[in-house]
Structure 1
């Protein structure tokens, strides 16, 4: 088992032109053919008569029939970003010839990643029972994790085949710009042309969602029932989209799995990071625009420069933080500060976490954390909790609450609560406050519900040492427990958990309500009850699970990593 790989597997009423995305008319796109980019090289397999062909807004694509469904891989939703590095994405040049859509497109350039990579990376993938208009199927768009620096939409864990068979839905996964290519903020250094560079990766997601809106009906999907779901960094990106004006109206449900974005990087901090990054490239701030012409390998080599805001020592971080930027153009407010964004109040949400997030997030790369002594715990908590609280107080409280816990148990529980779970609490409570306020307004429209979950079931892998860690919910939600090396394993218990979680997510995609027959009633989260569905072999609805831990960390302010 490779813990780092597992972590990375995880980790509009407003005109898009306002966010730097040009608006392209469908008729105009279909009417153009000259100057289109060359077709992709065909794989060895010849076309089969049963292979489906769909005419998208930009041109026709041919997928394949596989496992009884239609699969399309590597559909281009945006132009090559290389010629427009650090700038908003552009729609693809239209084409007339049928393009091959049977192999995944390139991932965004990144470090320590073994997939094909290129700045020409704006591709998406579609799984559907039948690529034919009129299907009216719910659409489940998955945004991959890996923080804002790693990953792609083509990991085997994200294969949509089993969700399609289980729920007659359309599944979409996608690639977009990451790390400096997606979030290097040059707006204050290189002029207006780069005003939105800190959120180029977010604008890629907006462009992909525009593609879904304009094309998914031809694949049997309902453009009026689009659900976003994502784990870790994918959840954080979804939280950001909830407050991005250009994304408004492009999705209708949202589910975040161990991934939140309460606050974004401010423009001054983002500029300080850009300055540090440029220095690692050998460039002064006055030469910032030159980064747009450097070889991509050189850009990647500078990603691990020390972060000038957090630094490396004392924060449990290494390298520069990359993520959304409060640039007053793409993003004019923090995603969930000081409150839940009003623009998405009508979007139902699921906000969930695993019980033992950091057993993999931290323990996956530091085996010594499984054999700690009591003397070691306070110092490590100070490094990893990412909140300014007395670690000795934290240790004392956890030993009082859980007298049977070992030093390592306390370390993982406290870092999970302070570092990983805390942002989920902030977001779900902000949504509950919003719903309560809107419900009290005379004649006001009620806010959409928010459903909270906690995954308690533990993986049996490696003797059960990981318990319920970060990324465990991915194979369960996708019903992909049989994927080799899946953290869930493919045991009977894992399949039973996958039944529960995948059915709930499919129901949520279909109706905005995750309740399904045969499962405990899942009621929305309120401030009065803090209702949370605890997923386990015998799942149950609990009021304020881990309430004492929540209250402990509520004593200190929360600041999102990167802010």
Structure 2
């Protein structure tokens, strides 16, 4: 009987900086907390110095500090885990079937969700890469990087040394991809076959990297999962110089003291000042939305400015889930309701004058779904995603594959697929997420989704055994793979649905306070919604 666990000289990898010791368990070598760069506050990352001897890579590295305490919410639906925080958070993790430098296995680099303000490479339990590495015979990498004020405070108007502070978090990711290019062969990976994939904010980071010339050549395929979305905030966005001045005001500092933000103010004091500034700005009808700043380093959102020339040549797989951030209360026994009762429920949201047309269009697009699920239909991610698909298929020279994840889960009266519910299926991790257990569905769906991801990473084509043939999209037609208990390709199935629903759906404003709390609970912090 072979050894299931090893942590010795056989689990040491030689990188360009020095030797790293990970561990081996059930066929997979794992390395946690590899430092890929270092950086001073608001500055671009720099390479790490080489070292003598062997460094342990047996513990996850620090995660970026977040601005608000997370509030326990929805843990059954999206299990989380947290970790010590530090501004020095440039760490990555690797799972691989081999340490043979000649193995040249496809590499998948995971970019976590949480917008550009929160999250980490290990925050969701299902981010663990061991099962995907084993199932697909691939190398999986996950990355921590700077977020929120540490990664995206644009101080460029205060001097050349802050020229790219508004993109420091993205610069970390470029540095991580450079590290992968230079070192991944020591972990059995092929530096010439790297796929970046991410969900929600991670998907947005994928699309952003495509618009950064410094990242050209560091990745060869992209997977965007629920990553093209509309702003969740309303009012006037505050950024750049005005935001820096608002933070300085909370610290009782003047403009001439701006360098103190980078050199003297502690991590906690800076966080407190940002939160105080955000509260004051909110009272004035203004908001902060962390994210990259267009400049000569980052050319801008491709949906707004067009795709960078190199990005046009990168194959893409992109999609969303049907329910995403739906806050609608569950409807019990919906399949036992009469047609009139179901129509009345739809009319409550969309009005008597629109109910019949809403139902007709929804059933034409999703004939297998109860019409009351139209109340959960996502309009935050899907419209932008469809525009992204159309524009990249039109401007690009590489294939674009579209998908939609649509199952219902046995929680909250058969809850429609929500934001993040697809991630365990892509990662082949449904076995560790109880809510994913759907009788007669889970194993098959997980296998075809993980296979599609792995095949796309290997060759740029996601077609896999167990799926109907899946053609890439064209400028004229969206060929969308529906991932559900029965997988099928539908062509332009939302063409008449999404534009109409945007017209008749009441405005949605995301408010974490909508999540319930215990009566005696001190209700502070942000709900877990990713």
TM-score by length of 1: 0.76
Q: Which residue of 2 aligns with 1:168?
A: 137
Task: Give yes or no for contact 2:238–2:287 (8 Å, CA) kept in 1.
Answer: no
Paired residues, number:
470
Report if the CA contact (8 A) 1:78-1:92 is conserved. Answer: yes
Taking only aligned residues, the RMSD between alpha carbons, in angstroms, comes to 3.5
Q: Specify the alignment match of 1:497 in structure 2.
A: 445
Task: From 232, 254, 260, give the equivalent of 2:200.
Answer: 232
What does residue 339 of structure 1 align with? 306
- How many angstroms does 1:456 deviate by? 1.1
Match of 1:242 in 2: 210
Q: Return 5+ residue gaps in structure 2 as ranges.
A: 71-81, 335-343, 510-530
**CA apart distance, 1:527:** 2.9
TM-score, normalised by the number of residues in structure 2: 0.80
In structure 2, what is the equivalent of residue 143 of structure 1?
A: 111
Q: Return the alpha-carbon distance in structure 1 between the equivalents of residues 281 and 324 of structure 2.
A: 22
Work out which of the residue numbers 391, 395, 409 in structure 2 matches 1:459. Answer: 409
1:392 & 1:180 partners in 2: Cα distance?
A: 46
* Partner Cα separation in structure 2 for residue 200 and residue 394 of structure 1: 47
Query: Counterpart of 1:345 in 2: which secondary structure?
Result: helix
1:425 correspondence with 2:395: no
Q: Structure 2 CA distance, aligned partners of 1:336 and 1:411?
A: 27
Task: Tell me the equivalent position of 1:398.
Answer: 358
Give a deviation string over 1:424-469, Cα, whole Å, max 9, x none: 112111112114xxxxxxxxxxx0100000011122234322x111
Residue in structure 1 matching 2:293, options 315, 325, 344: 325
Deviates more, 1:347-356 or 1:456-465: 456-465
Find the aligned partners of 1:434 and 1:267 in 2 and give their Cα distance.
30
Equivalent residue for 2:154? 185
**In structure 1, what is the Cα distance between the partners aligned to 2:243 and 2:352?**
32
When residues 242 and 185 of structure 1 are mapped into structure 2, their CA distance, relative to the original with a 3 A threshold, is same
CA positional deviation for 1:311: 5.0
CA distance in 1, matches of 2:113, 2:35: 21
1:552–1:402 CA distance, 2 compared to 1 (3 A): closer
Match of 1:37 in 2: none
String of CA shifts for 1:38-87, please: whole Å, max 9, x gaps. xxxxxxxx9843641111111110000112211101011012x3xx1011
Please give the alpha-carbon distance, in whole angstroms, between the structure 1 residues aligned to 2:217 and 2:30.
26
| Contact 2:152–2:290 (8 Å) recurs in 1 | yes
Shift in alpha-carbon separation, 1:535–1:374, aligned structure 2, 3 A: closer
SS of match in other structure, 1:534 = strand
Residue 545 (structure 1) aligned with residue 509 (structure 2): no
Q: Indicate the SS of the match to 1:547.
A: coil
Q: Which runs of 5+ in 1 are unaligned?
A: 1-45, 379-390, 436-446
Q: Which residue of 1 aligns with 2:338?
A: none
Partner of 2:166: 198
Q: 2-side partners of 1:302 and 1:319: how far apart?
A: 15
User: For residues 5-404 of structure 1, what are the structure 2 equivalents within 5 Å?
Assistant: 48-49=7-8, 51-79=10-38, 81=39, 84-110=40-66, 111-112=68-69, 114-155=82-123, 156-188=125-157, 190-260=158-228, 269-292=239-262, 293-304=264-275, 311=282, 320-326=288-294, 328-359=295-326, 362=327, 377=349, 398=358, 401-402=361-362
Which secondary structure state, in structure 1, belongs to the residue aligned with residue 445 of structure 2? helix
Aligned equivalents of 2:20 and 2:202: distance in 1? 27
Q: Which moved more, 1:398-407 or 1:52-61?
A: 398-407
Report Cα offsets for 1:254-278 as digits up to 9, x if no partner. 0000012799x99984333333344
- 1:531 to 2:451 alignment: no
> Do the aligned residues in 1 keep the contact of 2:225 with 2:318 (CA within 8 Å)?
yes
